[in-house]
Structure 1
């Protein structure tokens, strides 16, 4: 299977062959008295990533920077044709910045006219397969009930202006002057009638969570800790 880097290099080598009018092999620059162009990947550069919504995963995008160099004076005409073709077509993106002597020393060849081509590449990231559904789906309808309660503190003194939240939902209210509260739309699962109702009390800089018996008295008394 051809990878993203190899595919990008092969595509550019094919395009260069057509633009230059002669074969352009993939390889580092060489001192060849017969001339000719070569194309060689120098580095990978980051590209701007795009975000996707839902379960889709966007491909990972990057840029392959390629060095196109000639092997002697006879290669200048081919290099000139490549420069003209890329400038006319607007692709691949040209970068005229290959005069660093350190680059040529690292490659072991004499400095020469050359082009840098920035070619976009991508790696597709498939969406993970969802596990198969092995049993028929069963829909259950939950009943709703209203929970009336009263929040008291030490010596059963009513606590006013306490925020009462139904844990796991957006349902919330506040206690009145008598410490009373009412939460409407509390889910009730007929298959688990004894499952407790969890509420969260917030007030006076404190947070307290309590579990209430859904089948208890009509008025549930919640005692907040000291």
Structure 2
């Protein structure tokens, strides 16, 4: 399988052959007065990633920077044609005229010469995650919705007003009125487990108290809050 860098280099060499009018081999710059152009991958640079809100992962994007240079005066006409094609043609790679650093040529072990850089976008596709296979028959749980009416009382069965009543595990909440009464609408009721208790949380008077209520109990449940 061809990798992202190899594919980017192949695209550039194909474009260079048409722009220069002759094949351009992949290789480092060489000191050959009679030689033609060469193209060499010089650097990998990050590219802006595309954000996504879905489950699929976007491809990883980057830029391959390639050095195009000639081996002597004989290579100048071909380099000229590449420069013209890169600035006026269509479907061209991005041109960068920034290859004059003497340290670059020292590192490559050749004399400085006219050259240009081409930036080519590349990407690595990332496979979408696969869901594990379902090995058991699908089982559906039937949930009914009910309304829970209750009353919160304290010591000596005194009604507690302005107590926050929260349905644990959901965002549903309400407050008790002056008589300590409250109503929660849309309380899930598991028909497969009718005896499963309903958990509520009481918040108020500087305390937090959790209680379990019998879903099959009286129409009005009474919750005793501790002192």
Q: How far apart, in 2, do the equivalents of 1:109 and 1:206 lie?
A: 79
Q: Measured at CA, do residues 194 and 105 of structure 1 come closer, stay the same or move farther in structure 2, by a change above 3 Å?
A: same
Number of the residue aligned with 2:143: 142
* Residue in 2 that maps onto 1:49: 49
**What 5-or-longer segments of structure 2 have no aligned partner?**
none
Residue correspondence of structure 1 range 201-220 to structure 2 within 5 A: 201-204=202-205, 206-220=207-221
- 1:77 deviation in Å? 0.7
TM-score (norm 2): 0.90
Matched, 1:71 2:71: yes
Displacement after TM superposition at 1:170 (Å): 3.1
Where in structure 1 are there 5+ consecutive unaligned residues?
none
Q: 1:184 corresponds to which residue?
A: 185
Which position in structure 2 is the counterpart of 1:87?
Answer: 87
Partner Cα separation in structure 2 for residue 110 and residue 195 of structure 1: 83
2:112 is equivalent to residue 111 of structure 1: yes
Count residues with an aligned counterpart: 226
- CA offset digits 1:172-216 (Å, max 9, x no partner): 211111221111221111211121212233335654433322233
Deviation at 1:83, TM superposition (A): 0.7
Contact 2:147 2:184 in 1 (8 A): yes
What is the alpha-carbon root mean square deviation over aligned residues?
A: 2.0
Residue 153 of structure 2 corresponds to 152
The yes-or-no answer on 1:221 pairing with 2:216 is: no
Could you tell me how far apart the structure 2 residues matched to 1:205 and 1:40 are?
Answer: 71
Partner of 1:174: 175
Q: 1:56-104 CA deviation, whole Å, 9 max, x = no partner?
A: 2211111111111111111111111111111112520001111111111
Structure 1 residues 34 and 205, CA gap change in structure 2 (3 angstroms): farther
Decide whether aligned partners of structure 1 residues 185 and 77 sit closer, same or farther in structure 2, where only a CA change above 3 A counts: same
Alpha-carbon distance in 2 for matches of 1:118, 1:200:
61
Q: Secondary structure at the match of 1:211?
A: strand
Aligned to 2:3: 3
The answer for the alignment partner of 2:22 in structure 1 is 22
Structure 1 residue 224 displacement after superposition: 3.7
Q: TM-score, normalised by structure 1?
A: 0.90
2:57–2:127 CA contact under 8 A, matched in 1: yes
